[in-house]
Every structure is written in structure tokens, then in C-alpha cells.
Structure 1
Amino acid sequence: MLTLTDNANTIAATIVAQQSTTPDAGLRIHSSGTAAEPRFAVTIAPTPEPGDAVIGDEDIRVFLEQAVAEALDDKVLDASVDEEGSVSFTLLPQPA
């Protein structure tokens, strides 16, 4: 199952808190590319979509589209904020 680094957890929780007042809101990762070139998009969602996997803890909930959950099963999500305040997410392999 996808895991989040402490940085990703903190940044995602901050983004969701700033952009949603819904208590069940979370970060949703869904596919936005093609089968030949898979890409992932991140949005704020008030609730998970039907079929989404839900991961997280008391700080952040992450909703994963079913195909994304399978594709990212062995990954770690990291996040960082640059000097201008832009957030970037990075997928890393899980440690062996």
C-alpha cells in the first residue's frame, strides 16, 4: 500500500485544511494519463469516490482511485515546498 513520508503527510494535511471545510475531505490521487504514459493528478476531494482506497491517519486522508492504488502499491509519496510556495509530490520506491 502507498505510504506517505512525514513531509507529505504534513503538506497534504495543510493543503486539505486550507482548501476544504469538509471534515471528511482528503487528498485524491487519480489517473490523468494514458495506459502507455500513466500520469497521476492530485486534487482535494470532499469524500472518496466509489471504489477509492482510503489511506491515512488522523491528520490526513488520501483517496486513491482503484487503478492508482494498484499502480502505487509499492511506492512512497514524498512532498516538498519550494521557495515560491509551490508544492511538488514525488513517488519513491518503498525500502526493501
Structure 2
Amino acid sequence: MLTLTENAATAVKNLTAQIPAEAGGVRIADTGSPETGFALSLAEAPQSEDAVVEADGARVFVDPAAALALDESVLDAQVDGEGAISFALGVRA
């Protein structure tokens, strides 16, 4: 199962604060293309087949294809000086 670093959890909570839904989160979906990888979007709720990853109050919804590909991965995030968030995936040690 995908895990989140503390930085990623904080970034996800900051992003989802923009969603009016209490159960909102960031959704990761497999794009079906190795060139583009995964798509991130804000979602008010998970879709019926999504895996839900929760960490420190952050919620990430992962579609089934992405969940399989990201099973041993860690989601991390960095915020630059202008407030832009960059997410990165790594392999869990």
C-alpha cells in the first residue's frame, strides 16, 4: 500500500482545504501511459473502487491500477519559495 511522508500529508491537507467536502482528498489515477504516469486531482470523495490511504488527517484516493503500481511506494512533497507543491514517488526502504 502507498504510504505518505509527513511533508506529503501536510501538502495534501493544504490542498484539500480548498474542497468544500469534509471527506475530500487527492486522487491518484493511472493514466494508462508510461510517458505520463499518474494523474493527481482533487476529489470530494473516493470512487467506489479506490483504495483510501490516510495519514495524519490527509486522505489520498488511489485508483485500482495505480494502487497496484504504487504498492511499495512512498509519496513525498516539497513546497518551493512561491508555494508551488511538487510531489515525488519513491520506493519504500
Shared fold (TM-score greater than 0.5)?
Answer: yes
Structure 1 gap ranges (5+): none
Conserved 8 A contact 2:28-2:39: yes
Match of 2:15 in 1: 15
2:38 to 37, 40, 59: 40
Conserved 8 A contact 2:9-2:56: no
The CA deviation at 1:57 is: 3.7
Match of 1:30 in 2: 29
Match of 2:49 in 1: 51
Structure 2 gap ranges (5+): none
Compared CA separation, residues 33 and 82, structure 1 to 2 (3 A): farther
Give CA deviations for 1:76-96 in whole Å, capped at 9, x if unaligned.
00001111211100001101x
Compared CA separation, residues 92 and 58, structure 1 to 2 (3 A): closer
Distance 1:10 1:74 in 2: 21
Computed over aligned residues only, the root mean square deviation of the Cα atoms, in angstroms, reads 1.3
